[in-house]
Amino acid sequence: MYYKNLYIRDFGIFNNQNLNNISKNLVVIGGKNRAGKSSFLKLLRYLPYGLPQNDSIPPARNQYYIEAELEKENKNYNLILNGYSSPEVLDQNQEQHTAAQLFNHLDQLSYQHLFSISLDELQHLSKIAKGKKKEKRLFSILLGAGFSELVKVPELADKYHTNAKKIGGILGDPAVASFKPYYNEIKTAEEMRDQALLEIKEFNQKREELQQSQEKLKQKKDKIENLKQRYFLLDLLKNNYLELEEIEELKAELEKEAAGPINFDSDKSNQESNTQRGLANLLSFFKSQSKKVKKQQQNEEVLKEKIKNYQLQKVKINNNLQVLISEVESLNSSWEKPLQELEKIETDLIQEQRLNKKLREYKQLTAEIEKIESDINDLVFEIEEKNLQLKDIKFKMPETILKRSYMIIALAVITLSTSFFVDYSQITYLAIIFALTAFIYYSSNYKSSKLNKERTDKIKNEIKSEKKKRKVLKQQLKIKIDQLTETEADLENYAHILGITEADYLEFIDSYFGEIKEKKRRYRELKVEERDNKEKRKELEENLKQLNDLIFNAAVYCSHDFNTTAEMNLINKSQTIFKDFNILVDIWTLSEEYLSKKSQLEYILKSSDKIKNALNEKNGEEDYYQSFISLYGEFSSMTAVEERKRELSEQLNFFKEEKSSLEEKITTLKNRIDDLSSSSKIEKAQQKIDQAQNNLEKKARNYAVNKSVNFILKKLRSRMIEKAEKELLEPASEILSRISSQYYTDLKTPADLDQSDFKVITENGKVFNSVQQLSRGSLEQLFLAVRISRIREIKPALPLVLDDSLVNFDRSHLYNTAEIISNLASQHQIFILSCHPHLVSFISRITDSAQYWKLEEGKFELSDQEKLLDHLSY
């Protein structure tokens, strides 16, 4: 079952959000903190069962409303959740269903703890081992319904064992406990009866004869039983003869593989002993290394593919480095070692915005300086022009003209005054002439002189103003030149940092910086890829070393000449190692087949008490298999076995006839003895015996019931534990082993089931008897593994939600977990909610089928891995 479409009209931060065409496999929803991931987890957690009316969910703006379209077994369903009411489910035919039907009738607590996993809940699972009621309930959910009830079995078994002990003691001896009174009564009555019988001579004779006959009958029965067992063994041999032939053939082939050089000087028995010892060592080696061989066989193709990918990646990195070297050389041909020089450049010391700002300042300052210098030159030119104008202006000062005019007028006045004293008419005329002269001189010169003076003063003021402007401009020019010098120094420092030696660096420093920055980025990425590839190489070499060591260790026990190597570069010898490993796998497969067939036969021999008794009677050994092989060695063919069976059948019929004759004789003697023992004393003794036997039989039945129930309960508990460990914990162990990179290899329940705990075993045999002994990361890995194992059991598959529950895993374990989740997504729809870009990166490497959504402030947007990585990285 999976969600196809979701419409969230009102739930916490979400308002009118649509998620359409949701992938039915892996759905990655990436968002930063407070984007709404936890709210979406709670939405999916409570959607099937209705919303709780408490503060565990975010508040609605108006009223909660969610619609979901789901598909289950090729049939569409619509689920509507309105407010706090129960969800309404309609199928494509508008028929109503319950959410429980849709979600496999799984109870709410089980669904929420198994299929909606958050980091906070995963970190608190260690409480399971503290015996709290809620956590015990979670332990039952993880192990499966009904399993936790097994904790009551030991108490019940002890109860029935105590009852049985009160009745018949530990071994059920009739002479102890509640049996004892009735046993003593029987013994006393038998003595009374025997005493009565001894009084009759004939009775004694008949009884002696009866005993002799019974002894003979016992011998006949023993002989018949012996023949039956012999006949039974031959029949068993006949039925398994072909299987034994195959086992012996496999053994012969293994002996060839295990045999060392033959010493012709030693006798045959020593050679056979050496061969058997070599075979035993070879089988012991493969038995101890079986898991490793199987694991290496399973990982062989993956390892080959990883080696191929490593080599391709190495070539790709080298090619990209060469391309980068060429580009750097073309960028700066003076560098002898381009990449080293490129790495020396500390572009972090240069801010691109600051560099561009400095370049703009430089251009602006240069333009301003040129303008100021131009303005200064214009002012100098204007000042010179005005000085030349001053030189060209020649005039008498108005004061001088006025003074001279006054002097002429004064002379005219004096001359005119003289005419009053001297009667000379021409003097008057002379005075008038002087006055006219003064007027004409003043009129012709004063106004022109005044205008020239005003013009001169104006030019001088203009010169003074322009000189002042020139001074101000020179001060501004000095400031601008200082600023330009400082800017040039900064740009020169940037050029020095970038390794630019050209004088005209200002023309291209910005583009040069961009190219250097881009190439440093590419070089860093190539170094990261190269480092990652080297890490992969270490991992591959470690895997190949394990494989090579396995072959080297096997070579000690095998006659085959393996090409084991101690060379450091194992990757170059990988083909030879894989070839040797395939040979080793063939031998291992042969040993597995031999041991499997042998184990099956041994199981058959040990499964029946009848077979074990027959084999013990034959050889008196505990090794039933060797006893059976010894029997097989007595016959050269199947025909010989069948001939011997026929002979035993004839003997058996003969002894059966003799047995029947003796039984008839014994019956006759018993009847006669009964007649002789019919006295009242014997009858009274017999009544006591019968009554005591009846009472003892009732006690014996009660004893048998209690012992049987005790035995059955112990067997039930043992088998249920084995079943749980096989069906749940074995898959969980495999998942935990994959997550922890095979550090943890096995997961078991504790000896005392009431502990509600787990026992964890590492690859080197170290045992953690409680989850409280594990680190937080290992604890989270363990419970995630158990949960995934439990989830895989539940059919049909239901959607799974993970809310940053993998954040405490280191990178390698996170990658392993991402692989497991990606594989699980082939059967389950899985929502992964995360704010961590490296998890998204791992998922994109592992699978191409994941669907990516960006979640930002409660808004969903369909995305891809690159856009989502960019969003989460900044």
How far apart, in whole angstroms, are the C-alpha atoms of residue 333 and residue 253? 70
Mean pLDDT (the chain) is 76
Q: Of 103, 125, 144, which residue is a domain's last?
A: 103
Structural domain includes residue 218: yes
Residue 286 lies in a domain: no
pLDDT digits (tens, 9 = 90+) for 656-673: 888 888 888 888 888 877
738: in domain: no
* pLDDT, position 435: 67
Same domain, 481 and 613: no
Domain extent, residue 228, equals: 173-251+608-709
* Of residues 666 and 206, more confidently modeled: 666
Q: Answer yes or no: is 288 within a domain.
A: no
pLDDT at 248: 77
**Per-residue confidence (pLDDT) for residue 261, from 0 to 100:** 47
pLDDT above 80 for 612: no
746 bridge partner residues: 761
Q: What is the pLDDT confidence band of residue 136, given thresholds at 50, 70 and 90?
A: very low
Q: If pLDDT is split at 50, 70 and 90, which confidence band does 394 have?
A: low
For residue 117, list its beta bridge partners.
802
Residue 670 falls inside a structural domain: yes
Cα gap 732→728, rounded to integer Å: 6
Domain boundary among 497, 521, 536: 497
Question: How many domains is the chain built from?
Answer: 3
User: Is 860 contained in some domain?
Assistant: no
Tell whether 463 is covered by a domain: yes
Question: What does the angle CA 220 – CA 225 – CA 227 come to, to the nearest 5 degrees?
Answer: 95
Residue 28: predicted pLDDT: 95
DSSP lists the bridge partners of residue 118 as: 803
- Of the CA atoms within 13 Å of residue 31, those in its CB half-sphere come to 24
Q: Judge if 364 and 482 occupy the same domain.
A: yes
Q: How far apart are CA 710 and CA 719, in angstroms?
A: 14
Q: Do 491 and 365 reside in the same domain of the chain?
A: yes
pLDDT exceeds 80 at position 233: no
Structure-token match 């303005």, residue found:
375
Query: Which of the four pLDDT bands, split at 50, 70 and 90, describes residue 9?
Result: very high
pTM: 0.40
User: Which residues are CB-neighbours of 262 under 8 A, at least 6 positions away?
Assistant: 271
Please determine, for residue 59, whether its predicted confidence score (pLDDT) is greater than 60.
yes
Same domain, 492 and 362: yes
Regarding whether 472 and 372 lie in a shared domain, the answer is: yes
Task: Give the whole-angstrom CA distance, residue 609 versus residue 600.
Answer: 16
Over residues 277-302, the mean pLDDT reads 81
Q: Are residues 471 and 369 in the same domain?
A: yes
What is the CATH classification number for the domain harbouring 365?
1.10.287
Is the confidence at residue 160, as pLDDT, over 80?
A: no
Q: Which of 54, 87, 103 is the last residue of a domain?
A: 103
pLDDT at 752: 53
Helices (H), 556-637: 574-607, 609-619, 624-633
Distance CA 470, CA 44 (A): 80
User: Which pLDDT value is given to residue 300?
Assistant: 80
Percent of the chain with pLDDT over 70: 67
Residue 802: phi and psi, rounded to 5, are -120, 120
Residue 481 belongs to a domain: yes
The mean pLDDT of 341-362, rounded to a whole number, is 63
62 and 185 inside one domain: no
Residue that the structure tokens 């550090």 belong to: 743
Same domain, 355 and 443: yes
Instruction: Please return the burial class of 200, using the count of CB atoms within 10 Å of its CB with bins 0-12, 13-18 and 19+.
Output: middle
pLDDT band for position 146 (cuts 50, 70, 90): very low
Same domain, yes or no: 372 and 493: yes
187 and 99 within one domain: no
- Do both 217 and 99 map to the same domain? no
Closest CA to 739 of 810, 649, 635, 795: 810
Clarify whether residues 66 and 177 are in a common domain: no
